[in-house]
Amino acid sequence: MAGESESIDYNSPYANYRSPLSTRYASKEMLYNFSDQKKFSTWRKLWINLAKAEKELGLDITDAQITEMQKNIHNIDFDAAAAEEKLTRHDVMAHVHVFAKQCPTAAPIIHLGATSCFVGDNTDLIILRDGLDLLMPRVAAVVQNLANFAQQYKSLPALGFTHLQPAQLTTVGKRATLWLFDFLMDERALRRAREDLRFRGAKGTTGTQASFMQLFDSDSKKVRALDQRVTELCGFNKLYPVTGQTYTRKVDVEIVGCLSSLGATIHKMCSDLRLLANMKEIEEPFEASQIGSSAMPYKRNPMRSERCCALARHLMALYSNATNTHSVQWLERTLDDSANKRLTLSEAFLSADAALLVLINITQGLVVYPKVIERRINQELPFMSAENLIMAMVKKGGDRQVCHEKIRVLSHEAGAQVKQHGKDNDFLDRVRADPYFKPILADIDSLLDPSTYIGRAAEQVTEFLEEEVQPVLSQYEKVLKSQNKPVTLNI
């Protein structure tokens, strides 16, 4: 509108875009992991570790210089850094200058022999490592909640579906194991990615370590030792043996791929929950004061599952960014990865974190309605009993083909009553009324016991939990005990 811009206070924090991931969804821990404070204090730790390693290997660096830097790790003047970056158009050099002013004694040796990617890429790898360390226990918490749920309902028959059409029976607990197994695959993928993650180390401008060779008078062994020592000081056991200017962006592809795959698991499970909520068989937690709809007071919308699906869908879409970025890193590197990485990596971890927090909350309080489940079984079980009826008649001396044709005709007649006239399924009434089935009339009720239609579902649940789930959960026993409290959400 004309003149509107004149009255806007652009300096107000509410006049600027703020990511919903930071204002509504992600945890404080994950937000800190991708914060400027974490990023730039990590840069300073890297400069300190580089100086320590260089000193150990003979360069003229003093303890006083290192101590001075250590005292200022978290004392970051963000305004001064922003002013410097405005002048230099270079974020790393801006922070070098600000750090040097705070540490005048150490100024000559800060960033010695390093390139921007020494702090940029190594910090990213530390953040990726710490992000995985935050996510993996959250996945384990979901696994634990679902395992308890599966155990509790392992023997409760439920209508199974294929093609979203009624199929043979399963159990509520057995269905939960299908979700569980996907999460076990995600935990394995995240753990492997975490174990495989290495450090870039001190590689120089194009990965050749030429600048460090100059510092150490072409002593190749010392340069290699420097690379290894910096890696150890930064908490990594392994380093990438070869790099260009950056660590290969294939690492980002692998990690975002794991998170994207986790997103698919979350979306699948929460889509199932939304379908089950529509059937009124299972619902997510719903607070007494929660409002499902502004217009329809009776509604109990599965909004938490919907939020999980929304976040997961964004997470899944980020994978193409990672693959595209890696594919265009020409030769030793191009800078068109930088802005994209800042968005993709942070949003992938924040989205995964947010979705898992909601899912932990959901799986802590799933509500099951056995009577509704039983009613739905009874509506479909008559048709599913056909094979049992045929076998019972054969045992009484009947002809299988004759019996099959009888049941085919009666089932089609009953189906017409349901679909064309909206009536109840009267298939069994038709069976009881047909003289042909007189030999098995006394057995029909027992032939319709739902527990006889679930196969080994309950045993499968027990075996799966003992053999597959428990060994994974045992790896997280301490952290799960320390986090054994309900997850409350800002719904």
Q: Does the annotation count 163 as an active-site position?
A: yes
Helix axes 116-152, 36-56, angle to 10 degrees: 120
Catalytic hit among 5, 7, 163, 294: 163
State both tokens at 259: 């998170």
Q: Which listed residue (293, 320, 327, 451) is catalytic?
A: 293
Distance CA 467, CA 181 (A): 12
Q: Point out which residues pair with 161 in neighbouring strands.
A: 166
Distance CA 21, CA 353 (A): 10
The position carrying tokens 């045929």 is 390
320 is catalytic: no
Q: Which sequence positions are flagged as catalytic?
A: 163, 293
